[in-house]
Chains A and B, each alone.
Chain A
Amino acid sequence: MDAVYEPLRALAAASFRSQPQGHTLQPTALVHEVFMRIVGQRDAVWKDRAHFLAVCATAMRSILVDHARAKGSIKRGGAERERVPLDSALALAKEDEVDLLDLEEHLVLLSTLNERQARIVECRCFSGMTIAEVAEVLGVAPRTIDAEWAMARAWLSARLADVR
């Protein structure tokens, strides 16, 4: 299903749209910012594609959150935080928008409840990894990942809907 990760690009686009003018990074550029971040780490040698993607996911998440925070701080003073569209298949919410910083907040909470699930969400959402790839990286059977992903997704989706 093609549309699964499209929203992340949209997310990326949206999170950069409100940057000061002149800063016109495209989603593609975001991807490269991710790369810059990971190659900046010493010994950026990864075993395989899945490992690489997992590293990217972490970087992507932190870049997006940084940008969202920067934007939030610009808007401090009552303005509503920007909502970004999130796709239905990701099913974090019934409605098609989610606040990136809300997501981040709940991901952090989730990681205190079940660290692996938070990691699964990160890999799935921020670098478009398949269940099989996540399973490979985390060294767990795909069935387990499948179940945990279902749980984490439902939990986040319910929480995010609840916030709204």
Chain B
Amino acid sequence: MSSSDGARARYARLQGLFLEARALAALERAALLAEVRAEDAALASELELLLAHDRPATDQPAAPNSPLRRELDALHEQSAREVERELPERLGEYRLVRKLGEGGMGAVYEARQEKLQRTVALKVLRTGSFSPQALRRFEHEGAFLGRLAHPGIARIYDSGRAETPHGSQPYFAMELVVGVPLTEYARAQMLALNERIELLARVADAVQHAHRQGVIHRDLKPDNILVDADGQPKILDFGIARASDSDVRLTLQHTDVGQILGTLAYMSPEQAAGNPRGIDERSDVYSLGVLLFELIAERLPYDVAHKPLPEALRIIQEVEPTRLGTVDSNARGDVETIVLTALEKDRSRRYPSAGAFAADLRHFLREEPIDARPASRIYRLNKFVRRNRTVVVATLLVLVALAGGLVASLRFALAEAARRREVLQLSASQDVEELVARADALWPLHKDRIPEYRQWIDDAEQLVRRLPALRATLDRLRARALPRTSAEAARDRRAHPRYPELQSLEAAITWRRRLLKWRVDGVPVQLPELGELEGLDVERMHGLAYEYVQPERQQCGGEALGLALALRAHERAPLEQKADTANTLALAYLAVGDDVRAEATYELVPQFIEQAVPERRSVLVSVPGRYDWPARIRHLISRYREQGWQDRVEGALRGLESQRATLVEQIEAQREWRYPASGAEDHWWDRELERLIAALEALERDLLDERGITAAHGWSVRRRLEFAEALLAGEAPDGAYASAWDAALEEIQAAYPGVDIQPLTGLVPIGPVKGTEPELWEFAHLASGDPAVRNKDGSLVVTERTGVVLILLPGGEFWMGAQSADPGAQNYDEGANDENEFPARKVFLSPFFISKYELTQGQWRRLTGENPSRITPGPSATKPVDMVTWDASTEVCRRYGLTLPTSAEWEFAARGGTSTPWWTGKDARSLAGMENLADEFARTHGGTQSWAAFEPWDDGCSFSAPVDRFQPNPFGLYNVLGNLREWSCDRVTVLERFSPLQRDPVAIPATGATRQLLLKRGGSFEGLARLARSAQQGTGTYGDYYTGVRPALPLEGR
């Protein structure tokens, strides 16, 4: 709308009249109006209207006091403070000259240090974002940074805090560098490729100097590297990001998006992941790589400038940088390799230091071979495969911190605050992971860990307490989801794995309801039309009818149709088939609850059988089951006539209905939520929250609940605590375990002269081993089950509940291995394997415990919650556990304070003081009935055909036997040579490598490449005596059904 000068003039005239008129009394005003009207009637009307809308001046507010105004005033106060803070006149001994710029962490001023008559750059940090601890660290590190002295680094003169009216203000005073940013300098000077590389090598030298002092820059970018008039690059802000505790997240918090993106381009993947702990020297190497790229190509290796922040972070972490050679063909080959090496996502593949990077740049400049190697194609492919969920969470945290930062000075963060709460909830998923890791570290079980268990439980409970809130959040989220359409619901239902189960349940219910109608209410059965089924031949029709009505039918609902078919089939059937069809017809009547007609029909069957042709008759009579039909039908009829038939059916019906209700609930439960197209984020939250809730629930169930037990984590922490507390009580001065030790200690010490034995936690003495000479003692391992008790004859009773029984062996010198060379020499064994058993060596063992029995399935289940065994038959779980891997066996033993025996310990125990091939003697036949091996009984009683051979005796056992069967060796150990082979913690031992009288010899622990040499000792139920020799060493890599565990424990830690 345009307005002419005329309109303005008119308005001005109107205003003059208005102001004049409103000052007049009513009469005078009327006179004025009349005057005006005479001259300009329209103007007078307008004036009159204005006066009608005028308000007396007294309506004006005296002072501003409305809520709106109060809000604005508060804002003003706040911003005024910010403004004042930004422009202090002086700080401490510095007089501020002018502001040079503003960065993420604060502002930089040119300042004058009057005492020393020098000009400095004063970096003043924003205080709002630092905790008191961070400020203290800042001061501490500031002093430290002052020691960085290198021509390539802007010197830090001083750091400290100045007291100002707005509180304590931390600052850094540093060398004021007058120069231009690195990249601009190179451009302005039109430096050649080699000059640019040399320039960056000098920067890298400076970085290396700082690294050697333990200072990482973390924020290398052109703006932080100025080149002065002498061409000397100088790095600013060294170590400040770290000293001020501003990791990536904090840096983002106070920076606008443009600045973030400017910084992001130089940020290493580990920084972009928001993981401050992942940052080290190599993060700076990465940033140097970006700088080198930019110096050469005059562009960045990634395009992150115009990407949304999460996308930019993702690119840095996942996308391969542009290859330098595709931007600048002069920079193919070695330069490109150097850049790519510095830019490796995996920092372990980068240059290990800025120095190495600088050195390689100089190699290139001197045309020497460079150290970096181009990555192989396979390696590059592999890199694409990485993707880490925590990255996403970190991204969100960064995002939220950003959003939070922008409104940080406002008192109301509104929606962002809510979002932040959600993210904090999500960060719980890392807490869960951490708690699980901590629980896994709280082994072995020990009473000294009680405070740790308690602390863990406290922490976990705190986390689990968030579950209701998380579930509520998820519910709220799902309230925003698109409603599930009936088509989706139907599809979900049909796709549910238990849907078929529901269908047959429904049919069974329907049938019973109809049955009640037919029999109790007397509603006649409605026979359906056969329709197309009429066309079936008698056989097929009969077969179909049978399917619908036979008593074991899986699917109900077709009974009426079955009856219709049976009637028609019986009617059409030729005489010789009528016995069959009458049978089925009787079943059909029974299926619809008509016992009277069923009885009448089945009574005809013998007659039809009589009438059938003789061959047919024999078939009818001989087919098992068929022949039984009359009896079964009679039984079914009598069931109908029993007292309480109706109650029984109704009871069954109620049971089925409640089953159905449970099942329906499961099947109908929604499992997928869809969100509007705009709600991609909601969908993400949905999945994350669901995952988090599941993780927390698992934490609660597996690690917090007192009954929790899993193979992955063993006992729940609460269970460990309860056990440890019981142990503490039992081992207290007047506790039961302490008393048992007190009572036995003298006797035990007498039995092991020269061995210092004191009460051991987690074990209690049982008594001397029956029939050993000299006397050995047995101890109960408490974590694995109840202490074994003695029979009347003094032998131990092993039940499913029994825990591990350890026998203490005194150790000492013994001959290990075997030799087949000299019958007169030690440990002669004609079957000896010269590769590793030869020569027999005399070694020395310290006292150790070893289990009297192989670890039982019951024990394994108590320790892991599982029984992986393949050989499980038998009334009790006293068979040895099988199908356990070396890793699992080692870990389970470790958790509960046990170990696997070394090869030497095992052999010492197995020999029981003998030097013959077997503890039973030098003839294999001596093993008969003493150890469970592959024998005649196994051959004839299910031993697999794959077994090559069988010993000629009969031990009455074809697979593994309960651990207390067969005969004990001289040390009282059962099944050392037979039953199952046993894992040793050692690897295959080449005896030649043991020195004579070596103390407690062990081969190298089995790890990495030597895994295939994991060691098994002893024979098994599926092996021959030859493989069960005491010196025999077997190998294996995985669990099988003939390998188990015999735990051990050195008396003093190994």
Q: Using a CB–CB distance below 8 Å, which chain A residues touch chain B?
A: 1-6, 8-9, 12, 25, 27-29, 31-32, 34-36, 39, 44-45, 49, 52-53, 56, 89, 91, 94, 108-109, 112-114, 127-131, 133, 146-148, 150-151, 153-155, 157-158, 161-162
B residues less than 8 Å from A32 (CB atoms): 75, 407, 410-412
Minimum distance in angstroms from A143 CB to a CB of chain B:
11
* Interface contact tally, CB-CB below 8 A: 134
Selecting from B15-23, B128-136, B832-840, the interface stretch reads B15-23
Are B59 and A89 in touch, CB under 8 angstroms?
A: yes
Minimum distance in angstroms from A145 CB to a CB of chain B:
11
**Please, what's the 1-or-0 string for B71-110, where 1 marks a CB less than 8 Å from any CB in chain A?**
1110110011001000000000000000000000000000
A155 to B12: give the CA distance in the assembly, Å. 12
Are B50 and A5 in touch, CB under 8 angstroms?
A: no
Partner of B1, one of A27, A109, A133: A109
Among B53, B67, B76, residue most surrounded by chain A Cβ atoms (within 10 Å): B53
A residues less than 8 Å from B55 (CB atoms): 89, 91, 150, 153-154
Minimum distance in angstroms from B241 CB to a CB of chain A:
25
Are B61 and A157 in touch, CB under 8 angstroms?
A: no
Minimum distance in angstroms from B727 CB to a CB of chain A:
57
Among A31, A89, A127, residue most surrounded by chain B Cβ atoms (within 10 Å): A31
A27 to B65: give the CA distance in the assembly, Å. 16
Are A112 and B412 in touch, CB under 8 angstroms?
A: no
A28-B53 contact, Cβ under 8 Å, with A108-B1, A112-B1, A150-B22: no
Are A114 and B51 in touch, CB under 8 angstroms?
A: no
A residues less than 8 Å from B49 (CB atoms): 158, 162
Minimum distance in angstroms from B927 CB to a CB of chain A:
81
A1 to B52: give the CA distance in the assembly, Å. 22
In the complex, what residue of chain A is closest to B66 when comparing beta carbons? A5
Q: List 16 A-B contacts (CB under 8 A).
A: A8-B66, A29-B412, A32-B410, A32-B412, A35-B79, A35-B410, A52-B76, A113-B3, A114-B8, A114-B12, A127-B69, A128-B68, A130-B60, A153-B54, A154-B18, A155-B53
Minimum distance in angstroms from B126 CB to a CB of chain A:
15
In the complex, what residue of chain A is closest to B58 when comparing beta carbons? A1
A49-B59 contact, Cβ under 8 Å, with A154-B54, A161-B53: no
Minimum distance in angstroms from B419 CB to a CB of chain A:
13
Are B414 and A2 in touch, CB under 8 angstroms?
A: no
A158-B7 contact, Cβ under 8 Å, with A4-B66, A35-B75, A44-B79: no
Q: A32-B75, A112-B3 are in contact. List 6 more A-B contacts (CB 8 A).
A: A31-B68, A36-B407, A112-B1, A114-B11, A150-B54, A155-B11
Q: Does B57 contact A (CB under 8 A)?
A: yes
A residues less than 8 Å from B67 (CB atoms): 5-6, 9, 27
Are B15 and A114 in touch, CB under 8 angstroms?
A: yes
A148 to B71: give the CA distance in the assembly, Å. 27
B residues less than 8 Å from A94 (CB atoms): 53
Are A154 and B59 in touch, CB under 8 angstroms?
A: no
Q: Does B382 contact A (CB under 8 A)?
A: no
Partner of A128, one of B8, B59, B66, B80: B66
A39-B59 contact, Cβ under 8 Å, with A113-B3, A114-B15, A158-B50: no
Q: Does B190 contact A (CB under 8 A)?
A: no
Partner of A150, one of B8, B57, B68: B57
Are B8 and A113 in touch, CB under 8 angstroms?
A: yes
Are B79 and A151 in touch, CB under 8 angstroms?
A: no
Q: Does B116 contact A (CB under 8 A)?
A: no
A131 to B64: give the CA distance in the assembly, Å. 10
Are B50 and A112 in touch, CB under 8 angstroms?
A: no
Q: Does B623 contact A (CB under 8 A)?
A: no
B residues less than 8 Å from A157 (CB atoms): 53
Minimum distance in angstroms from B313 CB to a CB of chain A:
24
A residues less than 8 Å from B3 (CB atoms): 109, 112-113
Are B72 and A31 in touch, CB under 8 angstroms?
A: yes
A94 to B76: give the CA distance in the assembly, Å. 33
Are A154 and B410 in touch, CB under 8 angstroms?
A: no
B residues less than 8 Å from A36 (CB atoms): 407, 410
In the complex, what residue of chain B is closest to A6 when comparing beta carbons? B66
Minimum distance in angstroms from A35 CB to a CB of chain B:
5
A residues less than 8 Å from B72 (CB atoms): 31, 34, 52-53, 56, 127-128
B residues less than 8 Å from A162 (CB atoms): 49
A residues less than 8 Å from B643 (CB atoms): none
**Please, what's the 1-or-0 string for B390-421, where 1 marks a CB less than 8 Å from any CB in chain A?**
00000000000000000101111010000000
A residues less than 8 Å from B410 (CB atoms): 32, 35-36
A71 to B8: give the CA distance in the assembly, Å. 33
Minimum distance in angstroms from B708 CB to a CB of chain A:
41
- Chain B residues 1-34 with CB under 8 Å of chain A are 1-3, 7-8, 11-12, 14-15, 18-19, 22
Among B51, B52, B72, B75, residue most surrounded by chain A Cβ atoms (within 10 Å): B72
Are A155 and B50 in touch, CB under 8 angstroms?
A: yes
Q: Does B63 contact A (CB under 8 A)?
A: yes
A131-B412 contact, Cβ under 8 Å, with A35-B79, A91-B55, A112-B3: no
Minimum distance in angstroms from A130 CB to a CB of chain B:
5
Are B414 and A25 in touch, CB under 8 angstroms?
A: yes
A51 to B489: give the CA distance in the assembly, Å. 61
A107 to B76: give the CA distance in the assembly, Å. 26
A120 to B520: give the CA distance in the assembly, Å. 93
A131-B50 contact, Cβ under 8 Å, with A28-B71, A39-B79: no
Partner of B71, one of A31, A146, A153: A31
Are B18 and A31 in touch, CB under 8 angstroms?
A: no
A residues less than 8 Å from B411 (CB atoms): 32
Are B19 and A154 in touch, CB under 8 angstroms?
A: no
A residues less than 8 Å from B68 (CB atoms): 5-6, 8-9, 12, 27, 31, 127-128
A158 to B48: give the CA distance in the assembly, Å. 10
Among B60, B65, B71, B412, residue most surrounded by chain A Cβ atoms (within 10 Å): B71
Are A31 and B73 in touch, CB under 8 angstroms?
A: no
B residues less than 8 Å from A4 (CB atoms): 61, 66
A residues less than 8 Å from B60 (CB atoms): 1, 130-131, 146
Are B59 and A91 in touch, CB under 8 angstroms?
A: yes
Minimum distance in angstroms from A20 CB to a CB of chain B:
11
Are B64 and A130 in touch, CB under 8 angstroms?
A: yes
A residues less than 8 Å from B2 (CB atoms): 112
In the complex, what residue of chain B is closest to A28 when comparing beta carbons? B71
In the complex, what residue of chain A is closest to B51 when comparing beta carbons? A154
A114 to B66: give the CA distance in the assembly, Å. 28
Minimum distance in angstroms from A146 CB to a CB of chain B:
7
B residues less than 8 Å from A147 (CB atoms): 19
Minimum distance in angstroms from B819 CB to a CB of chain A:
86
A160 to B52: give the CA distance in the assembly, Å. 13
Minimum distance in angstroms from B46 CB to a CB of chain A:
8
B residues less than 8 Å from A3 (CB atoms): 66
A158 to B844: give the CA distance in the assembly, Å. 114
A residues less than 8 Å from B53 (CB atoms): 91, 94, 153-155, 157-158, 161
Minimum distance in angstroms from B98 CB to a CB of chain A:
14
A49 to B19: give the CA distance in the assembly, Å. 30
A130-B19 contact, Cβ under 8 Å, with A9-B68, A49-B76: no
B residues less than 8 Å from A28 (CB atoms): 71, 412
A147 to B16: give the CA distance in the assembly, Å. 10
Partner of B83, one of A45, A113, A150: A45
In the complex, what residue of chain A is closest to B67 when comparing beta carbons? A9
Are A1 and B50 in touch, CB under 8 angstroms?
A: no
A159 to B46: give the CA distance in the assembly, Å. 10
Minimum distance in angstroms from B116 CB to a CB of chain A:
32
Minimum distance in angstroms from B9 CB to a CB of chain A:
10
B residues less than 8 Å from A35 (CB atoms): 75, 79, 410
B residues less than 8 Å from A34 (CB atoms): 72
Minimum distance in angstroms from A45 CB to a CB of chain B:
6
A residues less than 8 Å from B69 (CB atoms): 5, 127-128
In the complex, what residue of chain B is closest to A44 when comparing beta carbons? B79
Partner of B52, one of A29, A146, A158: A158
A residues less than 8 Å from B18 (CB atoms): 150-151, 154
A127 to B61: give the CA distance in the assembly, Å. 13
